[in-house]
Amino acid sequence: MKILLYNQNPVVEKLVVLSARKSRDQVINVRSLDELISEEVELLLIDDDVFIIDEDSFEVIKSKVKFKKVV
């Protein structure tokens, strides 16, 4: 599984990477919306310390990230 982690906290990153490694999942960590690349992922994790909830942020994410399945 490919996981996109939007996060600035190194402790959170380490925990997610260690957990993902056990299940052989791939983690792509981005620290800002500017770092997002067009990528197809199965799971998006967002640290609430970095995410500003507004329509523009959602639009940036939707325009760059492709999801295999939307729930």
- Give the model confidence (pLDDT) of 2-36 as tens digits: 999 999 899 999 999 999 999 999 999 998 888 88
Whether the per-residue pLDDT at 71 is higher than 70: the answer is: no
Structure-block tokens of residue 23: 């299940």
Burial (0-12, 13-18, 19+ Cβ within 10 Å), 4: buried
17 contact partners, CB below 8 Å, separation of at least 6: 27, 29
Q: How many domains does the chain have?
A: 1
Which pTM does this prediction carry? 0.79
Higher pLDDT, 5 or 47: 5
Domain residues for 47? 2-67
